[in-house]
Amino acid sequence: MSNHTHSHPKFAVVGHPNKGKSSIVSALSMDDSVQISDTPGTTTKKRSFPLSVDGKIVYELFDTPGFQRARRVLAWLEAHEVSADKKQEVVQAFIDTHKEDERFRDEIELLEPIMNGAGIIYVVDASKPYGKEYEAEMEVLRWTGQPSMALINKIGESDYSKEWKKALEQYFKMVRTFNPMQVDKAQHISILESMAQLKEEWIAPVKSSIKLLESYYDQMIDKSAYLITRLVYESLTFVDKLKFNTEEASEEDRKKIEKNYKEKLRGFEKRTQEKIEHIWNHDHLEIEENILTFDGMDLFSEETASIFGLTRKEMMITGITSGAVTGAGIDLLFAGHTLLLGGAIGAVVGGVGAYFGFDELSEIKVLGQNLGKRFLQMGPMENRNFPYILLGRNLYYTSVISHKSHAKREMIHINMDSTFKDKWLDDDLKKSLEKYHKLFRSGKEVDAEALKAYEALIKETLKKLIDSQEK
C-alpha cells in the first residue's frame, strides 16, 4: 500500500509489551472490541482500528505487538553504515530479509505499518522507572524516519514522568501525558491537534478529521436525544389492557395489570439504554442487571423519585397542580406516602415538603361492559412526576455512557448524584417540558412537529450536560 492511496491519517501505536498500547488504541478509536489484557504479549499481530463517521475514515490506528528484540534489530541496522537519507531503505531491507524469521515476527509486524506511511505513537508507562533498554526501541523507530510522538501513560501508582519526559524529548518531537481511562471529546481533539503538528502534509487531513470527529459527537447526541424523546412519549401514552371473564375484576386482576404495566415501562427504558450504549460504541459493556436500574434503584422506587422527581413545591411552581386537585387527582400527583391516604387534602394544604414516589400511576379503568368482552385498562400515565423521573434517569445514563472511555472494561457503577437534577432542570425548562407532558398524557393525537420540538429541548439539555462534564 503506498503512502498516497488514502488521505486519512494513520498511526501505529508501538512500544514495550504491556504498556497499555491496546487501551490507547481502544480509547482513541472509540472501539471497545480491542482486546485488552494484563498478560504481556496479548497483541501478537498488528490490527487496524479505523474510526469512521458516515463511511469516511477519521483516522486509522494500528495496535501492534510489543518490541521483543529491539537491540538485535538495531545492531543489524547499524551494521549498515549509511547516510541519514538512506536509513529508511535499510529498515525496509531488514523487513524484506527477515520476513520469514520467527525471531523477529513482532518487530516486523510493528514496523510494516510505519513503513507504509503510518505515524508513530510510542507508548510508555511512567509508573515504571526509565531505563536504557528503551533506547534501542526508540533508535529503531528513529531509523524509520516517520513522524512520531510519545504518550506517557501512567498504569500504576509510582510516577517517573520527569525522567521519562527528559529521555523521550531526545527522540520525539512531541511528548504528551495521556490517560486512556479518561478520554473525552476535548482530549480526543487535542491529541489529534498534536498529531497535525508532526508533519506538514498532515495538517489538512487532520483538520478535516477533527471536523468529522466533532460532527460524530454531535450525531451521537442527536441520536440519543431522539431515543429519549421516543421513550418519554411512548411511556406516557402507553395503554395496557387485560381481559377478565368474571362478573367483577378481582383484586388479583388489578394487581396483575399494574404489574404488567410497570414491567412494560421498565422494558421500554431498558431497550432505550441498550440502544444508547450502541450509539456510543459500547456494545461490550458489562453492566450488572441491577446497575441498569441504577444500583438497584428501580424506575418505580421511592429513592428514584426522590433523586429525579420534582418536589411538591416545584410542582406548584411549574403549574402542574393548576386546576382542581381532588380525590384521585391528588393521589396521582403525590401518591406513594401513607400520610396522604387519609389526610390527602390536608397534606396538600399543609405543605408537606417531602418528595413523593408513586404507588398510583394511573387509574385502572374497567372497559367494554356492554360488549361482553370486559377488560381492565391502565394508562396513559397520569402520574405528574413520572416523566421527569424517566427523563432524569435517562439523561443521567446517557451522560455517564458518553464519558466512559472505551478502554475501561470493568463494571460500570452508576454513582448516584443527588444534585444531578439541579444540573439540568431549571424552572423555565420545567415549564417548557410540562407543556408537552400534558399533551402526551391527554390522549390527543401528537403531531411530528410537537415531537420534534420536544426532542430539540432534550438535545439542548443533553448537550449542556455532556459539555459541562468535560474536564
Q: Phi and psi dihedrals of 246, rounded to 5?
A: -85, 175
Please write down the HEC assignment for all residues of 294-322: CCCCCCCCHHHHHHHCCEHHHHHHHCCCC
**Residue-level pLDDT at 296:** 59
Amino acid type, 42: T
Q: Which grid cell sits at 118?
A: 503510518
**Bridge partners, 151 (sequence order):** 123, 176
Amino acid type, 145: G
Helix (H) or strand (E) holding 328: helix 328-334
Q: Which grid cell sits at 188?
A: 480526543
Please choose, from the candidates 199, 195, 67, 44, the residue with its C-alpha nearest in 3D space to the C-alpha of residue 139: 67
**Residue-level pLDDT at 413:** 59
Please choose, from the candidates 376, 308, 363, 307, the residue with its C-alpha nearest in 3D space to the C-alpha of residue 333: 363
Angle at 381 between CA 378 and CA 385, to 5 degrees: 140
Helix (H) or strand (E) holding 452: helix 448-469
DSSP of 260-304: HHHHHHHHHHHHHHHHHHHHTT-TT----HHHHTTTT--TTSHHH
| C-beta separation of 335 from 382 below 8 A | no
Domain residue spans in the chain?
10-180, 218-309+357-469
Helix (H, G, I), strand (E, B) or coil at 182: coil
Helix (H, G, I), strand (E, B) or coil at 382: coil
Angle at 383 between CA 294 and CA 356, to 5 degrees: 60
Helix (H, G, I), strand (E, B) or coil at 69: coil
Domain 10-180, CATH among 3.40.30.10, 3.40.50.300, 3.40.190.10, 2.40.10.350: 3.40.50.300
**Residue-level pLDDT at 2:** 39
Alpha helices, H only, 48-132: 70-78, 87-98, 105-115
List Cβ neighbours of 99 (8 Å cut-off, separation of 6 or more).
108
DSSP of 109-125: HHHHHHHTT-EEEEEEE
**Bridge partners, 51 (sequence order):** 59
Sheet holding 375-378, edge to edge: 240-243, 375-378, 364-367
Q: Which grid cell sits at 155?
A: 498504569
Tens of pLDDT along the chain (471 residues)? 334 445 788 999 998 877 678 888 888 888 777 766 555 455 567 788 888 878 888 889 999 998 999 999 999 999 998 999 999 999 999 999 999 999 999 999 999 999 999 999 999 999 999 999 899 999 999 999 999 999 998 878 889 999 999 999 999 989 999 888 877 888 889 888 998 888 888 888 888 889 988 988 999 999 999 999 999 999 999 999 988 877 788 888 888 998 999 999 999 999 999 999 999 888 766 654 444 445 557 788 777 777 888 877 777 766 665 433 333 444 444 443 333 333 333 333 333 333 333 445 676 777 766 556 788 888 888 888 899 999 999 999 999 888 877 767 565 556 666 788 888 999 899 999 999 999 998 888 999 999 999 999 999 999 999 888 765
**Residue-level pLDDT at 318:** 65
| C-beta separation of 342 from 392 below 8 A | no
d(CA 38, CA 129): 19
> What interhelical angle do 203-237 and 448-469 show, nearest 10?
130
> Do the strands 174-177 and 148-153 form a parallel or antiparallel pair, or are they unpaired?
parallel
**Residue-level pLDDT at 90:** 97
**Residue-level pLDDT at 332:** 45
Angle at 451 between CA 445 and CA 456, to 5 degrees: 165
Angle at 3 between CA 25 and CA 148, to 5 degrees: 45
| C-beta separation of 358 from 310 below 8 A | no
Cell 486509522 -> residue: 60
DSSP 65: P
Cell 490517560 -> residue: 179
DSSP 416: -
d(CA 241, CA 373): 12
Work out whether the CA dihedral 274, 278, 280, 286 comes out positive or negative: positive
List Cβ neighbours of 105 (8 Å cut-off, separation of 6 or more).
44, 65
